[in-house]
Amino acid sequence: MTATDPAPRSRAAASRELRHARDRRPRRLVPLAVAVMAARLVGLVSRALGRGGTTLPGRVLLALHGNALPRLARRLDHGAVLISATNGKTTTAAMLAHVLDAAGFAVVHNQAGSNLVWGVGTALLGARRGAGQIGIFEVDEAWLGAIARAVTPRVVVLANLFRDQLDRYGELERLADDWYEVVRELSPTGTRFVLASDDPLVADLAGGVDRASPPPLYFGIEDDTCALAARDHAADATHCRRCGAPYRYRAVWAGHLGRYECANCGHRRPDPDIAAERVVLEGTRGTRIEIRDRPRDSAATVALPLPGLYNAYNALACTAAARSLGVDLARSAAALATFRAAFGRVETVELDGRELVILLIKNPAGANAVLRTLALEEEPLCLWIALNDGVADGRDVSWIWDADFELLRGRVRSVVCSGSRAPELALRLKYAELEAPIAVQREMRLSLEEAVRNADRRLYVLPTYTALLDIRTWLAKRGAVAHWARG
């Protein structure tokens, strides 16, 4: 979701609206060609005015022609791929677009991360029949059903489900139930599902796949040297969805992701088809992954220029999706070695002689993955952390108490807290017993300028979602990056 998307609604309200949208006959005020022309014009004007133009054209398109999504999606010669997850969907979608581009596909992609129905509509304005195109769309978790039913995707990648914005999404089990219905409805159409074997909530969705349809393709990690000493206290899915008994884990990679089994009913993690047999974490510099395509008995090493186990998962999901589209492991590995970080996801920006390393944090599981990566750094850390409570962030910021800032104890040289909830963040860091002095400045521009001035060589910037957009806008005004909506 972007700052230009509308305010999130409650899940109940979203469900009512989606049912209403499905049941009613789509409005067609003008022919599709006229709606497309009008929406493209709106996009041109919006971008000329510096407003981004990632959502408004889609709004105009769907307001003028309610059936535009399926009709435009049919123009994609190679179909559409949908990617959804709590964490990593932007990076995974960008990786897949990069790999497919290298493989010769013409890619239509909502690259600015506008992942509600209007953002997908805006991206589909670029669909042209006969152009050899494929659509790569990251999709908000709560909007997966509506968008999937509209575009009838060729492949759906479902990577993980973690607790996030409970005031908007509700409990994970409800979201998993909605996804299961999507799998059950789409499976008979021939849609191929790419599922995380390590996430019990996601792997269990395979039960909705029709027996006559393509079987799911699983991806997962097999390197026990990356396992945590014990299950994360912030783990979400800890009990078997089939019988309710607690899962028993033989290895835990992050949160509730791991090699699990139920001692009561015998339900267990499926073996991954695309497996990371060895993962070497190289701090914030990158990750080396030895991946095996087990059904085809082929292997390749990915020198990924992105850090962290979470990016190893993103690379695995990308590789599995590419394989389901006919791109072999060796070609995916070669392309991933040249991948550049997606907007705000371990993105490095040069400013005033310093490196700003930007790492989005927005929920306990994602934040803990980032903090574990930072803990691998040898040099003392200069941190700038922004906590906002905008509607796109989630009003409830209590998740920071489940983020393990204690991992940075003894490793921080300076820290600045910013954003609308900066004082609460500072309190959290005080309880984490970080030894560095903690500065509090709500105003982002002032606090960032001060943090950059005081940083040695590198400043680690950890914003929540709306803070990330503000940072990008500020950096664009300083001439350090392009505007977030223009990539």
Q: Can you tell me whether residue 476 is helix, strand or coil?
A: helix
Task: Inform me whether the pLDDT recorded for 427 exceeds 90.
Answer: yes
Averaged pLDDT for residues 350-362: 92
The answer, yes or no, to whether residue 284 has pLDDT greater than 90, is: no
Task: Give the mean pLDDT of 316-336.
Answer: 97
Q: Work out the pLDDT band at 483, boundaries 50, 70, 90.
A: low
Residue 402: pLDDT over 80? yes
- Provide the residue count of the chain: 487
CA angle 45, 90, 274 (to 5 degrees): 145
Confidence of residue 169 (pLDDT cuts 50, 70, 90): low
Confidence of residue 313 (pLDDT cuts 50, 70, 90): very high
Task: In whole angstroms, give the CA distance from residue 85 to residue 71.
Answer: 26
pLDDT confidence of residue 6: 40
- Give the mean pLDDT of 45-54: 79
Whether the pLDDT of residue 4 is over 50: the answer is no
pLDDT (mean) for 403-425? 95
Of the pLDDT bands very low, low, confident and very high (cuts 50, 70, 90), residue 11 is very low
**Helix or strand or coil: residue 59?**
helix
Tokens of 57: 């054209």
- Taking residues 140-161, what's their average pLDDT? 95
The pLDDT tens digits for 235-282 are 788 899 899 999 999 999 988 999 999 999 999 999 999 999 999 998
Task: Using pLDDT thresholds of 50, 70 and 90, give the confidence band for residue 283.
Answer: confident
- pLDDT score of 101: 97
Q: Are 263 and 248 in contact (CB under 8 A)?
A: yes
Residue 20: is its pLDDT beyond 80? no
Residue 250: C-alpha distances to residues 142, 143, 258, 259, 456 (Å)? 31, 34, 8, 6, 42
Give the pLDDT mean for 111-123. Answer: 91
Highest mean pLDDT among 169-178, 343-352, 404-413: 404-413
Q: What is the mean pLDDT of residues 278-305?
A: 94
Q: For the residues 53-67, what does the mean pLDDT come to?
A: 92
Q: Which residue has the tokens 């394989």?
A: 323
Better-predicted residue by pLDDT, 171 or 118: 118
Identify the burial level of 93 via C-beta atoms within 10 angstroms of its C-beta, where 0-12 means exposed, 13-18 middle and 19 or more buried: buried
Q: Is the pLDDT of residue 194 over 80?
A: yes
- From residue 404, give the alpha-carbon distance in Å to each of 9, 233, 439: 29, 9, 20
Q: Which residue has the higher pLDDT, 102 or 167?
A: 102
pLDDT at residue 21 tops 80: no
Q: Which range among 15-29, 171-185, 251-265, 443-457 shows the weakest confidence by mean pLDDT?
A: 15-29
CA angle 200, 2, 93 (to 5 degrees): 50
Of 63, 42, 71, nearest in space to 118 by CA: 63
Measured between alpha carbons, how far is 84 from 478 in angstroms, rounded to an integer? 33
Q: Which residue type occupies 57? A: P
| pLDDT value of position 486 | 55
**What pLDDT is stored for residue 28 in this prediction?**
77
**Pick from 8-17, 219-228, 250-259, 410-419: least confident:** 8-17
Burial 419-456 (b: 16+ CB within 10 A, else e): bbbbebbbbbbeebebebebbbbeebeebbbbbbeebe
> Region 209-238: what's the mean pLDDT?
88
Q: Are 416 and 383 in contact (CB under 8 A)?
A: yes
% of the chain at pLDDT higher than 90: 69
Going by pLDDT thresholds of 50, 70 and 90, the confidence category of residue 14 is: very low
Confidence category of residue 25, pLDDT binned at 50, 70, 90: low
Residue 445 vs residues 22, 321, 441, 442: alpha-carbon distances, Å: 44, 40, 10, 9
Kindly tell me if the per-residue pLDDT of 477 is higher than 90: no
The neighbour count for residue 130, using CB atoms within 10 Å, is 7
Is residue 168 predicted with pLDDT exceeding 90?
Answer: no
Contact 10, 395 (CB under 8 A): no
pLDDT tens per residue across span 62-106: 999 999 999 999 999 999 999 999 999 999 999 999 999 999 999
Q: Give the whole-angstrom CA distance, residue 474 versus residue 469.
A: 9
Sheet holding 438-440, edge to edge: 345-351, 354-359, 458-463, 381-386, 412-418, 438-440
- Lowest-confidence segment of 19-33, 132-146, 362-376, 447-461 by average pLDDT: 19-33
DSSP code of residue 129: T
pLDDT at 130: 95
Dihedral angle, C-alpha 203, 137, 7, 344, nearest 10 °: 90
pTM (two decimals): 0.85
Q: For position 24, what pLDDT does the model report?
A: 52
